[in-house]
């Protein structure tokens, strides 16, 4: 069947470069945000989260930045590796148990 990565915005980078994946969210009342990674043929996996009272949060090789003024979220991946090739989704939560997912960005890492 078709890959979920088709029809999505695509970011192509060279191995070792830093990657920045962007997400615009819709509701200014959203107070909790998550980034997921989905590899081909697998379910989405949690990468990192951030609450609305923070602007930045760092994990291992990943950093999430939140700009509430323009309702923008970004995921930075340092020293991108071929294993980082996947579709990346952001999700926003508004004090509910039903997140809203973005459509995703396909990241392709060239060796």
Which residues make up the interface to another protein (CB under 8 A)? 1-4, 6-8, 31-32, 34, 41-46, 49, 51, 89, 91, 93-99, 101-104
Cα–Cα distance measured from residue 26 to residue 44, given in angstroms and rounded to the nearest whole number: 21
Count the neighbouring beta carbons within 10 Å of the beta carbon of residue 5: 17
99 class by beta-carbon count within 10 Å (0-12 exposed, 13-18 middle, 19+ buried):
middle
DSSP code, position 82: G
Instruction: Please identify, using beta-carbon distances, which residue of 17 and 49 lies nearer to another protein.
Output: 49
Instruction: Please identify, using beta-carbon distances, which residue of 41 and 111 lies nearer to another protein.
Output: 41
Instruction: Please identify, using beta-carbon distances, which residue of 16 and 101 lies nearer to another protein.
Output: 101
Q: How far is the CB of 89 from another protein (least distance, A)?
A: 7
């Amino acid at each position: 069947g078709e890959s979920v990565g088709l029809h999505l915005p695509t970011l192509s980078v060279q191995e070792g470069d830093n990657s920045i994946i962007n997400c615009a969210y819709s509701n200014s009342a959203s107070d909790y945000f998550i980034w997921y990674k989905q590899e081909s043929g697998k379910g989405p996996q949690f990468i990192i989260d951030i609450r609305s009272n923070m602007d930045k949060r760092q994990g291992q090789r990943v950093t999430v930045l939140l700009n509430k003024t323009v309702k923008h979220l970004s995921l930075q991946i340092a020293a991108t590796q071929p294993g980082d090739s996947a579709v990346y989704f952001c999700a926003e939560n508004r004090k509910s148990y039903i997140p809203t997912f973005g459509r995703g960005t396909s990241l392709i890492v060239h060796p």
